[in-house]
Amino acid sequence: MAKYRTHYDNLKITRNAPDALIRAAYKVLMQQYHPDKYDGSEEKALRITKIIKDAYDILIDPARRAEHDEWIDAQESKNNNAGFEKSEKTEQPLYAIDYLHYSEHELYGIAAKELTLGNINKGIMGRAIVEADGNEAKVSTRYIQNRVQQLLEDIEGHYLIELTQLGYRISATNTDSGTRQWHIRTKTQEVHYIHSLEAFKEVIAKLRGHVNERARTERGVFALGDVGLNGGIVFFVDDSGSHGLEAQSTDAENALDWHAAITAAQAYGYGWRLPLKDELNLLFQQKELVGGFSDDFYWSSTHMGEGCAWQQNFGGGGQISYKNNDQCKVRAVRDF
The CATH number assigned to the domain holding 273 equals 3.10.100.10
Domain membership of residue 322 (yes or no) is yes
In eight-state DSSP terms, residue 194 is E
H or E segment and range at residue 232 = none
Percent of the chain with pLDDT over 90: 29
Of 49, 67, 91, the position where a domain reaches its end is: 91
Separation of first and last alpha carbons in the chain: 41
Domain membership of residue 159 (yes or no) is no
Q: What is the mean pLDDT of the chain?
A: 79
Domain of 5, CATH number, reads: 1.10.287.110
The residues with which 181 forms a beta bridge, in sequence order, are 173
Domain membership of residue 245 (yes or no) is yes
Q: b or e along 299-314 (b: 16 or more beta carbons within 10 Å of the residue's beta carbon)?
A: bbbbeeeeebbbbbeb
Domain membership of residue 101 (yes or no) is no
CB 274 within 8 A of CB 262: yes
The residues with which 322 forms a beta bridge, in sequence order, are 309
Of 91, 114, 131, the position where a domain reaches its end is: 91
Q: What is the pLDDT of residue 42?
A: 83
Of 52, 75, 91, the position where a domain reaches its end is: 91
| pLDDT tier for residue 236 given thresholds of 50, 70 and 90 | very high
Res. 96: pLDDT tops 50: no
- Residue 60 and residue 55: Cα distance in Å, rounded? 9
Domain membership of residue 122 (yes or no) is no
More confident residue, 95 or 194: 194
Which of these ranges, 104-108, 221-225, 309-313, has the smallest mean pLDDT?
Answer: 104-108
One DSSP character per residue, 250-279 reads S--SS-B-HHHHHHHHHTT-TT-BPPPHHH
* Sheet bearing 244-247, strands edge to edge: 233-237, 244-247, 333-335
What are the residue ranges of helices labelled H in the chain?
A: 7-11, 19-32, 42-59, 62-81, 104-117, 122-131, 136-165, 197-211, 258-266, 277-285, 287-290
Question: What's at 162, amino acid-wise?
Answer: E
H or E segment and range at residue 313 = strand 308-313
SS3 104: helix
Look at the chain and count its residues.
336
Q: What is the pLDDT of residue 57?
A: 92
Domain membership of residue 137 (yes or no) is no
Q: Using alpha carbons, select from 289, 314, 195, 191 the residue that is nearest to residue 236.
A: 289
Q: What is the pLDDT of residue 209?
A: 62
Domain membership of residue 98 (yes or no) is no
Reported as a single tens digit per residue, the pLDDT across 261-287 is: 999 999 998 889 999 999 999 999 999
pTM for this structure? 0.39
The overall longest dimension of the chain from CA atoms, in Å, is 78
Reported as a single tens digit per residue, the pLDDT across 17-50 is: 778 778 878 887 887 888 877 777 888 888 888 8
Domain span holding position 46: 1-91
Reported as a single tens digit per residue, the pLDDT across 148-203 is: 777 777 777 777 777 776 667 777 777 777 666 777 877 667 777 777 777 777 77
Average pLDDT over residues 115-135: 75
Domain membership of residue 231 (yes or no) is yes
Question: What's at 189, amino acid-wise?
Answer: Q
Query: What is the total count of domains within the chain?
Result: 2
| pLDDT tier for residue 97 given thresholds of 50, 70 and 90 | very low
CA 272 to chain centre: 18
